[in-house]
């Protein structure tokens, strides 16, 4: 039997224990009798469940359960488990006094008397609603993230374990690499690499870098299930736990084949634009130089021709002058090539039959190419006529065939072929849809490698030795073809010869019945007739307008040598003043490219004021200038015979 002191001490301890339990606010701690009725109630229970002690004491603890749990007899099972097993613990939804639910962690312990008799239960309940909500939010977030990753189709997003074996697989990975999840999960990611990269240890190197630095990023070729290759941008990130343990790797792969091709095409377009701008600038420079050079050549040729006429009795001087004239004429040919390259050489298109043109050139071609070259022609029987400048086409054809000859130093065959071609859509050669004649020069010579072929049409580029070529032959042919709306196309392989194709638009008008196919004879006949008519021109008073004093002097000398009187003007303004004071001027020859007022503007002004006054426009190039019918064109440099022809044309109206 306990002594009074022991009873007093026990009572004091129980009081302190009750104060402790009542002070706890985060846990609902209360007692149940053996039948489950509430026998005690602390402050934490009141705060958590909403009941005052007076309201809840004596009530059965099942009042805290949901209706579904009560129907399932969960309260009874909880007490039975605690009584039989010594403890019951679970989590679930519980009900507060106001009917709201909260997520609770519940622990029930049986209370036994010293004799072992069950005298009640101790029940501890904790409100875990916030944790439950956080877990639910996390679960939703993880679910949404999985849906997001699975829904991404432009990126292959998947996980690797620490050894590099695939542990997850999204739709993008399946689309890009071709494997289903069942086929690839559990397989090593190295199978996406090429055989060469696997042999070099690239997969392991990528994981090693990611493991050491936390990240690996590269671009390279990867292999799909079907064996095809694609260009991939790859990122591998190392995934660690909170304690630093490597859990695996997150791998993201993007197929950048199309963007890479687009970037490459953009770079090629930029390079083409740069090349085009460079060629345009070079063309403008070349055209300007050639125009100025034409003026100098005209002075030289005019002076030499006049000197030759006055030194006919001196054979030695005559030979020297003829040699000088030939040299100057070669200079004229060079300027024509330069102007053709710069698109500044005025073309005079005519209706041409290619077989007739080639037949007229046959003797000259064979003489130029030499006896070691055999020329074979292969022309379509129904070849369409074309519109082209015969002189420029002959020069272009001669250049192409000379190049073919030079590619066969030991001789060989050159095939000259022509066929009708129909272009239905804009082709790789930038030809507009329409009908063309493809004139081909085919040799079996040394051929060109890719680098040489890419530069072949560039001006002044030549593989020939010093003094053997100007590098303007192909660029001149290219410029002529483009001016006509066609194209020069080259194909070649080293050691397999070269094919040069001139694509020229056909003539869309029918040939008139009285046109002759022998253009060489036609031009000779016209020249003879014109020369006969020019002999009958009486002495004229001619106004010559040019801002170049050397050209002015040369033209004056040629006109005076022909028996005409000449008045000079160095500008259009000065010419107008002279014409106001001198009404006896019979004809005006004016340069086109002059400052302040061009020759074309001067001619238009004079035509309005004195329409009966014959006019001639002299110029090295007109840059696509369209001349009115009353204004004949005299191309610089011109000879004395060409000047006579122009005089006759102007006087004939």
How would DSSP label each residue in 134-148? HHHHHHHHHHHHHHH
Greater model confidence, 140 or 635: 635
**Same topology between domain 4-128 and domain 152-255:** yes
319-359 pLDDT tens trace = 777 777 777 766 666 666 556 555 555 556 788 898 988 88
pLDDT, residue 527, reads 46
What tokens does 459 get? 């001006």
522-549 pLDDT tens trace = 444 444 444 444 455 778 999 999 998 8
Query: What value does the mean pLDDT take over residues 571-579?
Result: 94
Q: Of all residues in the chain, what percent carry a pLDDT higher than 90?
A: 39
What does each C-alpha distance from 437 to 79, 359, 415, 487 come to in angstroms? 104, 17, 16, 11
Mean pLDDT estimate for the chain: 81
CB 631 within 8 Å of CB 606: no
Burial of 592 per CB tally in 10 Å (0-12, 13-18, 19+) = buried
CB 520 within 8 Å of CB 527: no
With bands split at pLDDT 50, 70 and 90, how would you rate the model's confidence at 279?
A: low
pLDDT at 17 over 60: no
pLDDT at 520 over 50: no
Query: What value does the mean pLDDT take over residues 184-207?
Result: 94
pLDDT, residue 469, reads 47
CATH architecture of the domain covering 152-255 = 2-Layer Sandwich (3.30)
Burial of 354 per CB tally in 10 Å (0-12, 13-18, 19+) = buried
Q: How far apart are CA 375 and CA 427, in angstroms?
A: 30
pLDDT, residue 280, reads 60
Q: Which residue has the tokens 């001198």?
A: 582
Q: What is the dihedral of CA 18, 22, 27, 33, to 10 degrees?
A: 50
Greater model confidence, 149 or 617: 617
Extents of the domains making up the chain: 4-128, 152-255, 350-505, 530-651
pLDDT, residue 585, reads 93
Topology (CATH) of 530-651: Rossmann fold (3.40.50)
CATH architecture of the domain covering 350-505 = 2-Layer Sandwich (3.30)
pLDDT at 582 over 70: yes
pTM reported for the whole predicted model: 0.39
pLDDT, residue 427, reads 60
pLDDT at 514 over 80: no
Pairing of strands 434-443, 412-423: antiparallel
Residues in the chain: 653
Most confident of 312-321, 516-525, 626-635, 643-652: 643-652
Q: List % helix, strand, coil for the chain (3-state, nearest 5).
A: 45, 25, 30
Long-range contacts of 402-405 (CB under 8 A, 24+ apart): 402/368, 402/369, 402/473, 403/473, 403/474, 403/498, 403/500, 404/441, 404/442, 404/443, 404/445, 404/498, 404/500, 405/369, 405/370, 405/373, 405/443
pLDDT, residue 337, reads 56
Report the chain's C-alpha Rg in angstroms: 51
98-131 pLDDT tens trace = 999 999 999 999 999 888 899 999 999 999 988 8
Pairing of strands 27-32, 412-423: unpaired
Q: How far apart are CA 455 and CA 15, in angstroms?
A: 106
Query: What value does the mean pLDDT take over residues 146-162?
Result: 78
Question: How many other β-carbons are positioned within 10 Å of the β-carbon of residue 55?
Answer: 12
367-386 pLDDT tens trace = 778 888 888 999 988 899 99
Angle between the N-to-C axes of helices 549-561 and 257-310, in degrees from 0 to 180, rounded to the nearest 10: 40
pLDDT at 485 over 70: yes
Question: How many other β-carbons are positioned within 10 Å of the β-carbon of residue 387?
Answer: 17
Query: What value does the mean pLDDT take over residues 277-290?
Result: 59
pLDDT, residue 35, reads 94
pLDDT at 196 over 90: yes
3-state secondary structure of 586: coil
pLDDT at 649 over 60: yes
Burial of 307 per CB tally in 10 Å (0-12, 13-18, 19+) = middle
pLDDT, residue 160, reads 94
What tokens does 43 get? 């402050």
CB 430 within 8 Å of CB 390: no
Question: How many other β-carbons are positioned within 10 Å of the β-carbon of residue 274?
Answer: 10
pLDDT at 392 over 50: yes
With bands split at pLDDT 50, 70 and 90, how would you rate the model's confidence at 455?
A: low
403-441 pLDDT tens trace = 888 888 888 889 999 999 888 876 656 788 888 899 999
Burial of 516 per CB tally in 10 Å (0-12, 13-18, 19+) = exposed
456-468 pLDDT tens trace = 665 555 555 444 4
pLDDT, residue 100, reads 93
pLDDT, residue 164, reads 94
First to last CA, the chain: 156
230-269 pLDDT tens trace = 999 999 999 998 888 999 999 999 999 988 888 887 887 7
Topology (CATH) of 4-128: Beta-Lactamase (3.30.450)
How far, in whole angstroms, is CA 413 from its chain's centroid?
A: 40
Tell me which of 152-166, 242-256, 300-314, 356-370 is least confident. 300-314
């Amino acid at each position: 039997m306990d002594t009074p002191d022991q009873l007093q001490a026990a009572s004091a301890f129980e009081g302190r224990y009750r104060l402790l339990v009542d002070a706890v606010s985060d846990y609902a701690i209360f007692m149940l009798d053996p039948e489950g009725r509430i026998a005690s109630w602390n402050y934490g229970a009141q705060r958590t469940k909403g009941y005052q002690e007076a309201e809840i004491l004596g009530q059965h603890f099942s009042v805290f359960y949901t209706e579904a749990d009560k129907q399932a007899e969960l309260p009874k099972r909880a007490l039975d488990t605690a009584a039989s097993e010594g403890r019951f613990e679970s989590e679930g939804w519980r009900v507060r006094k106001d009917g709201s639910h909260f997520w609770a962690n519940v622990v029930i312990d049986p209370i036994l008397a010293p004799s072992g008799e069950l005298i009640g239960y101790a029940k501890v309940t904790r409100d875990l609603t916030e944790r439950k909500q956080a877990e639910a939010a996390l679960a939703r977030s993880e679910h949404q993230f999985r849906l997001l990753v699975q829904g991404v189709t432009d990126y292959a997003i998947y996980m690797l374990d620490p050894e590099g074996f695939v542990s997850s697989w999204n739709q993008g990975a399946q689309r890009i690499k071709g494997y289903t999840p069942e086929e690839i999960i559990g397989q090593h990611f190295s199978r996406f690499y090429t055989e060469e990269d696997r042999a070099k240890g690239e997969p392991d190197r990528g994981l090693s870098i990611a493991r050491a630095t936390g990240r690996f990023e590269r671009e390279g070729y990867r292999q799909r299930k079907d064996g095809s290759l694609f260009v991939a941008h790859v990122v591998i990130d190392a995934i660690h736990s909170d304690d630093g343990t490597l859990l695996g790797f997150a791998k993201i792969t993007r197929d950048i084949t199309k963007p890479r091709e687009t970037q490459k095409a953009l770079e090629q377009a930029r390079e083409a634009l740069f090349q085009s701008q460079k060629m345009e600038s070079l063309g403008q420079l070349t055209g300007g130089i050639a125009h100025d050079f034409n003026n100098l050549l005209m002075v030289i040729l005019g002076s030499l021709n006049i000197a030759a006429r006055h030194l006919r009795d001196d054979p030695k001087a005559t030979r020297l002058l003829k040699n000088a004239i030939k040299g100057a004429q070669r200079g004229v040919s060079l300027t024509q090539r330069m102007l053709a390259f710069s698109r500044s050489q005025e073309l005079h298109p005519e209706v041409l039959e290619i077989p007739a043109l080639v037949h007229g050139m046959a003797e000259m071609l064979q003489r130029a190419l030499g006896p070691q070259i055999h020329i074979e022609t292969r022309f379509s029987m129904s070849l369409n006529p074309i519109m082209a400048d015969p002189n420029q086409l002959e020069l272009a054809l001669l250049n192409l065939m000379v190049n073919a000859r030079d590619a066969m130093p030991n001789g060989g065959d050159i095939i000259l072929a022509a066929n009708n071609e129909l272009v239905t859509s804009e082709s790789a050669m930038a030809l507009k849809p329409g009908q063309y004649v493809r004139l081909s020069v085919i040799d079996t010579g040394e051929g060109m490698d890719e680098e040489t072929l890419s530069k072949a049409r560039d001006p002044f580029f030549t593989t020939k030795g010093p003094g053997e070529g100007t590098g303007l032959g192909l660029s001149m042919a290219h410029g002529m073809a483009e001016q006509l709306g066609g194209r020069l196309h080259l194909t070649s392989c080293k050691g397999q010869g070269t094919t040069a194709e001139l694509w020229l638009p056909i003539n869309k008008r029918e040939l008139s019945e009285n046109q002759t196919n022998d253009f060489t004879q036609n031009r000779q006949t016209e020249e003879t007739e014109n020369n006969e008519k020019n002999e009958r021109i009486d002495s004229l008073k001619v106004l010559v307008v040019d801002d170049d004093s050397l050209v002015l002097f040369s033209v004056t000398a040629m006109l005076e040598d022909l028996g005409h009187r000449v008045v000079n003007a160095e500008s259009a303004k000065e010419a107008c003043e002279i014409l106001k004071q001198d009404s006896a001027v019979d004809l005006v020859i004016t340069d086109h490219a002059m400052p302040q007022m061009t020759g074309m503007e001067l001619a238009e002004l004079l035509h309005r004021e004195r329409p009966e006054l014959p006019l001639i426009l002299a110029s090295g190039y007109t840059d696509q200038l369209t001349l009115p019918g009353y204004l004949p064109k005299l191309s610089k440099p011109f000879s004395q015979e060409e000047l006579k022809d122009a005089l006759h044309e102007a006087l004939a109206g």
